[in-house]
Structure 1
Amino acid sequence: MSPRPAPPVLPSWLTWWQRPFPDANTLLLPGRQPALVDSGFVGHADETAAWARANAGTIDLVVNTHWHSDHVGGNALLQAGGAAIAAGTPEAEPISRRDPGCCAAEYLDQPVAPYTVDVPLEDGRLLRLGDADWEVVRTPGHTPGHLALWQPEERLLVVGDALSDYDVGWVNLALDGPDAADTALASLKRMADLDPRLILPSHGPIPTDPAAAFAAALRRAQRLVDDPAGAVWYGARRIFAFALMIRDGIPADEVEPYLHARAWLTDAARLLDVTPEDLAAELVTTMLGSRAVVLRDGRLRAAADHAPVAAETLRVPYPRAWPGTGPR
């Protein structure tokens, strides 16, 4: 039996916060230009801001790996406190013009408090985060504007949702086109070619063996390319589980009506050539059967570990009603 790999050694000049769903892991870089990479879910924005203040004093810049709700939820509060927000240009531009599709918030029914992007990021841009320089690496696939951050001296790679120790990011073939899975696979290959010493993922623990983590991720991503229907199902399961997490479950008799009203489910049904009603029923049955969701106290709930969310924190407007929205 081979010995277990040693735990990853983090540089002393960064602080890593591994967080349960519905938050993304958060990277803090104190120093002359204190920065935060991703800001968690809106329901925990106060907690994110308090943690950042306790460990860095102030935050000058928040860099988002992409615009999903679990990565940008603290942006508005941190921006109100003086932080600038940086994001990949393909996502910065729609936010600037207040596109109703921003953050896929309404599409996914995942609340995001209004924010603006101050620093659009192109591939190859150098950013001073804390006391070190990092390179922006465009890694589209999970979203069109997804990015990674590369610190070449330490060979550290922030990978966002592109991969984790147990998973790869789901892809949206309906919104982003049939080549989204191929795009995600190409991004993984680009990151693997950097040969990082340390991978910092947005979910789960830091992988102990980066090369093995990339090898597993490439196999998983190839399966999404080879099986588009499986990729659609994979995304539907992830989106539905997240919906249950942030709402403390959904009453059992309201679950299927809730699903019938979701744009993402309608799109998934179209791609799978089934009715939304049939897909909703099969999704619930399948996830109950796999124990990804459980029925408890009359509510369907996500089985994965996750932090509770106060219901009142979800009451933020969809991007179509964000301040600054004008006639189109």
Structure 2
Amino acid sequence: MSLQSSAPFLPSWLTWWQRPFPDANTLLLPGRQPALVDTGFVGHAEETAAWARAHARDIDLVVNTHWHSDHVGGNALLQLQGAAIAAGAPEAEAISRRDPGCCAAEYLDQPVAPYTVDVALDDGQVLRLGDADWEVVRTPGHTPGHLALWQPEEGLLVVGDALSDYDVGWVNLALDGPDAATTALVSLKRMADLAPRVILPSHGSIPSDPDAALVGALRRAQRLVDDPDGAVWYGARRILAFALMIRDGIPADAIEPYLHARAWLTDAARLLDVTPEALADELVTTMLRSSAVVLRDGRLHATADHTPVAAETLRVPYPRAWPVMGPR
């Protein structure tokens, strides 16, 4: 589904592409300095690049709200085609030094093709994207380098995974510390203080009532602060569902060995004070019971709407094997 710039509450100078999982929504800002905000999943990089070319020919700059695989998957291809990449400073620095933890790709077992960051973004920085100026707003929580983009004249706020009309971004208490949920809540309050006219989320549709969306997000985020165990469970469910989406499911007899080998599950089990084996079993059982996962033809599949991914597109190296690259 694509919601184009003809929507009555969007200005004519932008194009919005609403995409199902495993891709994040994509914002195109054509003009004198054509820019793209987020680039979807690596398995759909060719589709992302073709869409951008069809609407704006060349892309000068890609801005990532954060470095998860569903937001940076087209970076490598677009960079090869001449685009520069901009990202929040903490993530930009880690990518520049080729930190093995880049994008949490290996940790989450979510492939990301190697790319470099040309522009490190700081809070309050103003970017010319297309023909308009946008302000960078640091919104850590979902990841430490997560950012939003604010266009004050039109009241447009690109929020990444911080919130949607139905959800808030999961937080990683194991990697980012016990205060990650509180940090995410503070970021949401900062975004609410901007009083945006339009919220552009990375997943789902554009909220018809931005005030109500923010109120709901603040309520959900507070629950993650108040219930750390619930926050861990929430993240685990989201990570497993994504794994099933990008792999066209996982054989039922292979799911427990798959989970036992995952660092994120081991960390979640430690935080919940259970064994990884017990957590894996309960995670699968509860997701089947809730119909978030279904058993079909001997494979477990995520039931959320998603686009298939060709298996061969997942064969990219983990960041620890990314080539070291000098400045472009």
Question: Are 1:171 and 2:178 matched, yes or no?
Answer: no
Name the CA distance, whole Å, in 2 between partners of 1:125 and 1:251: 47
Name the CA distance, whole Å, in 2 between partners of 1:212 and 1:284: 33
Amino acid in structure 1 at the alignment position of 2:202: S
Instruction: State TM-score, norm by structure 1.
Output: 0.97
Q: Where does the alignment leave 5 or more consecutive residues of structure 1 unmatched?
A: 1-6
Name the CA distance, whole Å, in 2 between partners of 1:8 and 1:161: 24
Please state how far the C-alpha of 1:325 moved relative to its aligned partner.
7.7
Please state how far the C-alpha of 1:9 moved relative to its aligned partner.
1.3
Match of 1:251 in 2: 251
Name the CA distance, whole Å, in 2 between partners of 1:8 and 1:296: 41
Name the CA distance, whole Å, in 2 between partners of 1:130 and 1:110: 31
Match of 2:274 in 1: 274
Alignment of 1:1-328 (within 5 A): 9-324=9-324
CA deviations on 1:122-148 (whole Å, 9 max, x unpaired) are 000000000000000000000000000
Please state how far the C-alpha of 1:189 moved relative to its aligned partner.
0.1
- Tell me, what secondary structure is at the counterpart of 2:79? helix
Please state how far the C-alpha of 1:38 moved relative to its aligned partner.
0.1
- Tell me, what secondary structure is at the counterpart of 1:171? coil
Amino acid in structure 1 at the alignment position of 2:273: D
Identity of aligned residues (%): 88
- After superposition, the CA RMSD in angstroms is 0.9
Name the CA distance, whole Å, in 2 between partners of 1:288 and 1:110: 22
Match of 1:3 in 2: none
Q: 1:196 to 1:8 in 2, by over 3 A?
A: farther
Name the CA distance, whole Å, in 1 between partners of 2:284 and 2:82: 43
Name the CA distance, whole Å, in 1 between partners of 2:48 and 2:200: 18
- Tell me, what secondary structure is at the counterpart of 1:136? strand
CA deviations on 1:112-168 (whole Å, 9 max, x unpaired) are 000000000000000000000000000000000000000000010000000000000
Asked whether the 8 Å contact 1:8–1:208 carries over to 2, the reply is no
- Tell me, what secondary structure is at the counterpart of 1:294? strand
Name the CA distance, whole Å, in 1 between partners of 2:83 and 2:187: 29
- Tell me, what secondary structure is at the counterpart of 1:219? helix
Please state how far the C-alpha of 1:8 moved relative to its aligned partner.
5.5
Name the CA distance, whole Å, in 2 between partners of 1:8 and 1:314: 38
Name the CA distance, whole Å, in 1 between partners of 2:8 and 2:48: 24
Amino acid in structure 1 at the alignment position of 2:109: D
Amino acid in structure 2 at the alignment position of 1:20: P
Name the CA distance, whole Å, in 2 between partners of 1:324 and 1:44: 25
Amino acid in structure 1 at the alignment position of 2:280: A
Name the CA distance, whole Å, in 1 between partners of 2:195 and 2:44: 34
Name the CA distance, whole Å, in 1 between partners of 2:165 and 2:204: 7
Asked whether the 8 Å contact 1:79–1:85 carries over to 2, the reply is yes
Please state how far the C-alpha of 1:33 moved relative to its aligned partner.
0.1
CA deviations on 1:260-292 (whole Å, 9 max, x unpaired) are 000000000000000000000000000000000
Amino acid in structure 2 at the alignment position of 1:23: D
Please state how far the C-alpha of 1:178 moved relative to its aligned partner.
0.1
- Tell me, what secondary structure is at the counterpart of 1:22? coil
Name the CA distance, whole Å, in 1 between partners of 2:295 and 2:249: 9
Asked whether the 8 Å contact 1:98–1:325 carries over to 2, the reply is no
Name the CA distance, whole Å, in 2 between partners of 1:296 and 1:257: 19
Name the CA distance, whole Å, in 1 between partners of 2:274 and 2:9: 49
- Tell me, what secondary structure is at the counterpart of 2:11? coil
Name the CA distance, whole Å, in 1 between partners of 2:152 and 2:109: 38
- For this pair of structures, how many residues does the alignment match? 320
Asked whether the 8 Å contact 1:8–1:206 carries over to 2, the reply is no
Q: Where does the alignment leave 5 or more consecutive residues of structure 2 unmatched?
A: 1-6
Name the CA distance, whole Å, in 2 between partners of 1:8 and 1:110: 36
CA deviations on 1:68-126 (whole Å, 9 max, x unpaired) are 00000000000000000000001000000000000000000000000000000000000
- Tell me, what secondary structure is at the counterpart of 1:204? coil
Name the CA distance, whole Å, in 2 between partners of 1:49 and 1:57: 10
Name the CA distance, whole Å, in 1 between partners of 2:165 and 2:210: 9
